[in-house]
Amino acid sequence: MIANAEALLKPLKIKGLTIRNRVMGTSHAPGYGKDGKPQERYQLYHEEKAKGGIGLTMFGGSSSVAIDSPATPWNQISVADDSVVPFFQSFSERIHRHGAKLMIQLTHMGRRTRWDTDNWMPTVSASPRREPASRSIPKEIEDFDIARIVADFAAAAVRCKVGGLDGLEVSAAHGHLIDQFWSPDVNKRTDKYGGSLENRMRFGIEVLEAIRAAVGDDYVVGMRMSADEMFAAGLSHEDCLTIASEYARRGLVDFLNILGGQARDDMAHAVILPNMSFPVAPFLFLPSAVKREVDVPVFHAQRVTDLATAARAVAEGHVDMVAMTRAHIADPHLVKKLSEGRVDDIRQCVGAGYCIDRIYVGGDALCLQNAATGREATMPHVIPKAEVKRKAVVVGAGPAGLEAARVLAERGHSVVLFEKQALVGGQINIASKAGWREALSGIPRWLLGQVQKLGVDLRLGTEATEALIRAEAPDVVIVATGGTPNPGEIPGHELATSTWDVLTGKADLSGSVLLFDETGQHQGSSTAEFIARKGSLVELVTHDRYVAQEVGTTNQPIHLRELYKLGVVMTPNMELFEIYREDNRLVAALRNTMTGAEEERVVDHVVVEHGTLPVDALYFSLKEGAVNRGQMDQAALVAGTAQPAIAAAEAAGQGAYALFRIGDAVAGRNIHAALYDALRLTKDI
């Protein structure tokens, strides 16, 4: 049991609103909005958390109140007109039937958005200062703009109340319009809205006064803000305490949702949305400081990934409510599991940042380790029992094989899981050796605990053969044998070392190293960091426009920070086209992808990252004997229905089996793809 768990399960009352416990999810933007509305997918995502026992689920991070704060980026919610109200009404009804409360975040983005979307309106801000993140140069806001936007906030707040939402928060964090006015770096005005901190607070005060006048004193209104922008030209901790205290003293807010940092550029994003390279709850001291100064409830979210930390934060009085937003993406039922004494069943967030990284490239939020999140209409979080019990053999205990075994066992099938290594985890065991990415090991650790609890016959250190598999008389065989490093095909490729050999210690490199990264994912950068920490001089070469091009906003800056600190030379726009020996050293021949100009490097070692090739020999040996010859019915898979081969094997009688392969045994992708392959195949077996 979690120490101080009772502190988390205690209700919180804010005015006339009683929230059933102290666990919440902050407003965020999962990219599930459609036409600016929270439609079915969006609602089902939050409903799963309500089913799972959350006290307060907040949605619509950066929900727009005005047409010059477009909702298009990140598929946001627009609260700029009355058409959103029916969606709020159905949404609130859906959440309330499970006992949870529902709130939204309202904002005007100011300069923190783009002008070349939706209606092509110029962005506005306190002063015409370009923001590095959005790359927007705003118009300096005029008096009539201020009046219009203040009225827009008030009108949007009324729509929230009419829509049945339990409250709202105004965003004054992440560099939105209100905190653009607060910021001495952004606000260079000389009128009553600029200059002193008192003047810079004026716009936010006018917004909240207008909202309060529109919705009344009984409706819950809060504000999200930073308690230290951690930026020399920005708001100091003392500035933020002054703002928080003044807004609370005036009765403008019923709660404060506190975070640390700001989001003006790439590195700031990585800090304000801390990934696994950060300690747990790195900024808890900030809401704790605010709570000492104000008499309204204080909320907090920033990498609170486990219930023990959350319980301590509340029990020790640092916060009144603790937000576990990404933790709920990993496991929307974590509160229910806590209250039922099933803490070991909680799939804990590892801080991979995959969910957020996808959003910032225009994708939808998906959890690296939970393929059901965001797909609630088609993928189950709670696996139902099968009507017919079958015998299944799964080969390979990487993420794909472990998830397949877990789901099959949850369905009630008899499952044998072969793994030729002495431990489970597959490629995750290699990736987790790369410095700050060790937390990835939590993914197979949870899966292993589940398959053991479910009674899967786990045969470690046993290489599956066709004879061993046939001896089990399976109805279904799933090959999840993973991949093996792709050495590439250039002349001299046999002279190169794989990133796998480096991370596992099979190759202990010294001297000068050229690492060629063809994938732009974590592997190349992680390995370059690993080698450089051991004292080697490293050049990281990629044919992409920049290093780690496929890595997202919360992770790429951490890679770059570490590479710079370690003195790694980063060379983009180069392809490796030959390796050859020269005396006792290697020559790496490079070609510029833009000009075609060729260069050479004389180094001690060449390391290559070309992704993986499938380990598929076993699959092909089993293929001819399978009723479906290994073919996956793609239409059935996408539609979320059972594979016809399952019924065909049953009809064929004794000795017949359906054969499938999943994960990197098909093609090199990532952890999420492997888990999704497994879940959507096995949930219907």
Find the mean pLDDT for residues 476-501: 98
Candidates 3.20.20.70, 3.20.20.140, 3.40.228.10, 2.40.160.20; correct CATH number of 5-359?
3.20.20.70
Place of tokens 């939402």: 165
The pLDDT value recorded for residue 117 is 85
Distance CA 246, CA 242 (A): 6
Is a pLDDT exceeding 80 seen at residue 128?
A: yes
Find the mean pLDDT for residues 113-120: 87
The pLDDT value recorded for residue 403 is 98
**Binning pLDDT at 50, 70 and 90, where does residue 362 land?**
confident
The pLDDT value recorded for residue 116 is 87
Find the mean pLDDT for residues 129-148: 95
CA 380: distance to chain centroid?
19
Query: b or e along 125-152 (b: 16 or more beta carbons within 10 Å of the residue's beta carbon)?
Result: bbbebebebbebebbebeeeebeebbeb
**Binning pLDDT at 50, 70 and 90, where does residue 557 land?**
very high
Q: Would you identify the CATH topology of the domain 391-484+614-682?
A: Rossmann fold (3.40.50)
Three-class secondary structure of residue 58 per DSSP: strand
Is a pLDDT exceeding 80 seen at residue 72?
A: no
Query: b or e along 86-103 (b: 16 or more beta carbons within 10 Å of the residue's beta carbon)?
Result: ebbeebbebbeebebbbb
* Domain span(s) for CATH 3.40.50.720 in the chain: 391-484+614-682
Closest CA to 283 of 311, 268, 269, 302: 302
Three-class secondary structure of residue 335 per DSSP: helix
Is a pLDDT exceeding 90 seen at residue 361?
A: no
Distance CA 580, CA 203 (A): 66
Q: How many residues does the chain have?
A: 685
pLDDT tens per residue, range 246-302: 999 999 999 999 999 999 999 998 999 999 999 999 999 999 999 999 999 999 999
Burial class (CB in 10 A: 0-12, 13-18, 19+), 384: exposed
Is a pLDDT exceeding 80 seen at residue 74?
A: no
**Binning pLDDT at 50, 70 and 90, where does residue 53 land?**
very high
Distance CA 316, CA 322 (A): 12
Distance CA 17, CA 645 (A): 53
Is a pLDDT exceeding 80 seen at residue 71?
A: no
Is a pLDDT exceeding 90 seen at residue 435?
A: no
DSSP string, 493-526: GGG-EEHHHHHHTSS---SEEEEEESS-SHHHHH
Is a pLDDT exceeding 80 seen at residue 410?
A: yes
**Binning pLDDT at 50, 70 and 90, where does residue 133 land?**
confident
**Binning pLDDT at 50, 70 and 90, where does residue 18 land?**
very high
**Binning pLDDT at 50, 70 and 90, where does residue 656 land?**
very high
Is a pLDDT exceeding 90 seen at residue 75?
A: no
Average pLDDT value over all residues in the chain: 97
Find the mean pLDDT for residues 406-429: 98
The pLDDT value recorded for residue 119 is 85
The model's pTM: 0.96
% of residues, the chain, pLDDT over 70: 100
* Domain span(s) for CATH 3.20.20.70 in the chain: 5-359
Is a pLDDT exceeding 90 seen at residue 360?
A: no
- Contacts for 636-645 with beta carbons within 8 Å, 24 or more apart? 637/680, 637/681, 640/378, 640/379, 640/680, 640/683, 640/684, 641/684, 642/684, 642/685, 643/681, 643/684, 643/685
* Domain span(s) for CATH 3.50.50.60 in the chain: 487-610
**Strand locations in 23-114, DSSP E?**
23-25, 56-64, 101-107
Find the mean pLDDT for residues 417-424: 98
**Binning pLDDT at 50, 70 and 90, where does residue 499 land?**
very high
The pLDDT value recorded for residue 174 is 94
Is a pLDDT exceeding 80 seen at residue 494?
A: yes
Is a pLDDT exceeding 90 seen at residue 645?
A: yes
Q: Is residue 663 within a helix (H) or strand (E), and if so which, with residue range?
A: none
- Contacts for 533-537 with beta carbons within 8 Å, 24 or more apart? 533/435, 533/566, 534/509, 534/510, 535/510, 536/509, 536/510, 536/511, 536/512, 536/605, 537/511, 537/512, 537/513, 537/567
Phi, psi for residue 586 in degrees, rounded to 5? -115, 145
Going from the C-alpha of 44 to that of each of 57, 354, 601, the distances in angstroms are 12, 20, 54
Find the mean pLDDT for residues 640-647: 94
Distance CA 188, CA 191 (A): 9
CA-based angle 375:381:384, to the nearest 5?
115
Q: In the numeric block, which tokens belong to residue 102?
A: 């529902």
Place of tokens 């703002």: 243
**Binning pLDDT at 50, 70 and 90, where does residue 405 land?**
very high
Q: Is residue 229 within a helix (H) or strand (E), and if so which, with residue range?
A: none
Superfamily of the domain at 487-610 = FAD/NAD(P)-binding domain (3.50.50.60)
Find the mean pLDDT for residues 599-617: 98
Distance CA 116, CA 123 (A): 10
CB 290 within 8 A of CB 3: no
